[in-house]
């Protein structure tokens, strides 16, 4: 396989904390906590030559994803790198020209072993798109092959504490397949992206209520990143007031849900391409909150995570299912428990669970074939 490598070293600070003499007292503790430079985070991004990858690169390089003082090394994977070699060269040149002091190195490759070697975080953008006339099983077969390859390469090369985010659709089941082929990495380290749906839900509520986006709290996405997903505002608030007391119930149970479920298709229809900028932003939000923590303590976000039967909502074990979660940073998250679930919500949650069970059955039958 061919491999194109670009390197950007950035500027080095003239103040070198390593020159400070350490002593076995409180000064050493201060040095370790505040002056010791952080080790760069290695983040692998697959499908890097695509539109989402292009939009995502500056968000990683600028510190939006891992924080304003965290250096990064980007490993970009494209399995057909020869076809996009000039494009990747151009992206590398742009990253050099854009002045990103936190960006220490860029590695573009077609070799999964190189892409995932020693990485701390993985963003799997690449997946086989559904084409006209393609049956669901055919699509699943294509993607299972891709995510089996990704899982095996992650298992062989990545940090055993690597945090993996799957974006390529069908994201939830692709994530499940990937986790099956990287058995030494904890299941809770595999997640799928529903933050885009979460951001869409908050945005639509804010627009409808005519309020600032930050006033909208507690919305959640349950289930699959598909048209069966359930955008739930039952526990949500606007400026501290229940959303249901501010907006009409008919809208919340009808038009609102349908709008979020079909938002991706509406964007494709409008711009004749899939949502790249908002998807890249959602990826950045997801990874930032997972690794760094949410900006406000206790803030609820949506993440598709591995089900283990302890969520308290009766969801089947062994799925990748979206829940409202709280992120504390350091790669730690918790499913929000004890939320009030009415009959309407239960029906919607079970419908999306049913779809995920069907996808899992189909995926497992293909892997065993």
Q: Are 16 and 122 in contact (CB under 8 A)?
A: no
- Phi, psi (rounded to 5 degrees) for 60: -70, -50
27 is catalytic: no
Q: Are 216 and 192 in contact (CB under 8 A)?
A: no
- Phi, psi (rounded to 5 degrees) for 75: -105, 110
Annotated active-site residue in 198, 225, 286, 288: 225
What is the rounded distance in angstroms from the CA atom of residue 101 to the CA atom of residue 119?
A: 20
What is the rounded distance in angstroms from the CA atom of residue 72 to the CA atom of residue 34?
A: 19
Residue 8 burial (10 A CB sphere; 0-12, 13-18, 19+): buried
Q: Are 43 and 120 in contact (CB under 8 A)?
A: yes
CB proximity list for 203: less than 8 A, separation 6 or greater: 213
Exposed e or buried b per residue across 252-285, where buried means at least 16 C-beta atoms within 10 angstroms of its C-beta: beeebbebbbebbeebeeeeeebbbebbbbbbbb
Q: Are 104 and 9 in contact (CB under 8 A)?
A: yes
N- to C-terminal Cα separation, the chain: 28
What is the rounded distance in angstroms from the CA atom of residue 133 to the CA atom of residue 103?
A: 43
DSSP secondary structure letters along 115-180? HTTT-SEEEE---PPP-TT--HHHHHHHHHHHHHHHHHHHHHHS-TT-EEEE-SSSHHHHHHHHHH
* DSSP secondary structure code for residue 11 in this structure: P
What is the rounded distance in angstroms from the CA atom of residue 163 to the CA atom of residue 186?
A: 9
What is the rounded distance in angstroms from the CA atom of residue 321 to the CA atom of residue 153?
A: 24
**Element counts in the chain: helices (H) and strands (E):** 13, 15
Catalytic residues: 225
């Amino acid at each position: 396989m061919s491999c194109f490598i670009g390197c950007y070293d950035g500027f080095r600070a003239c103040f070198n904390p390593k020159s400070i003499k350490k002593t076995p007292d409180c000064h050493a503790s201060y040095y370790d906590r505040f002056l010791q430079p952080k080790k760069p985070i290695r983040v692998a991004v697959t499908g890097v030559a695509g539109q989402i990858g292009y939009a995502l690169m500056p968000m990683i390089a600028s510190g939006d994803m891992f924080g304003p003082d965290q250096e990064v090394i980007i490993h970009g994977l494209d399995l057909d790198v020869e076809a996009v070699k000039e494009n990747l060269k151009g992206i590398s040149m742009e990253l050099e020209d854009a002045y990103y002091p936190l960006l220490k190195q860029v590695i573009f490759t077609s070799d999964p072993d190189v892409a995932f070697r020693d990485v701390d975080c993985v963003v799997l953008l690449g997946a086989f798109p559904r084409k006209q006339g393609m049956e669901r099983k055919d699509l699943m077969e294509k993607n299972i092959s891709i995510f089996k390859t990704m899982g095996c390469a992650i298992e062989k090369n990545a940090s055993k504490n690597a945090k993996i985010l799957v974006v390529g659709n069908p994201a939830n089941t692709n994530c499940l397949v990937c986790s099956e082929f990287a058995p030494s990495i904890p299941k809770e380290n595999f997640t799928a992206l529903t933050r885009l749906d979460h951001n869409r839900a908050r945005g639509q509520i804010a627009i409808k209520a005519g309020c600032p986006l930050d006033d909208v709290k507690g919305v959640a996405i349950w289930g699959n990143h598909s048209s069966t997903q359930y955008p739930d505002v039952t526990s949500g608030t606007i400026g501290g007031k229940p959303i249901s007391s501010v907006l009409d119930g008919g809208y919340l149970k009808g038009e609102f849900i349908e709008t979020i479920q079909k938002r991706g298709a509406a964007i494709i229809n409008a711009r004749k391409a899939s949502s790249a900028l908002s998807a890249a932003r959602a990826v950045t939000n997801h990874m930032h909150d997972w690794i760094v923590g949410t900006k406000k303590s206790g803030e609820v976000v949506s993440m598709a995570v591995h089900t283990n039967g302890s969520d308290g909502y009766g969801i089947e074990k062994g799925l990748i299912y979206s829940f409202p979660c709280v992120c504390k940073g350091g790669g730690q998250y918790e499913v929000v428990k004890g939320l009030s679930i009415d009959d309407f919500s239960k029906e919607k949650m079970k419908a999306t669970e049913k779809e995920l069970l069907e996808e899992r059955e189909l995926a497992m039958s293909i892997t065993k074939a």
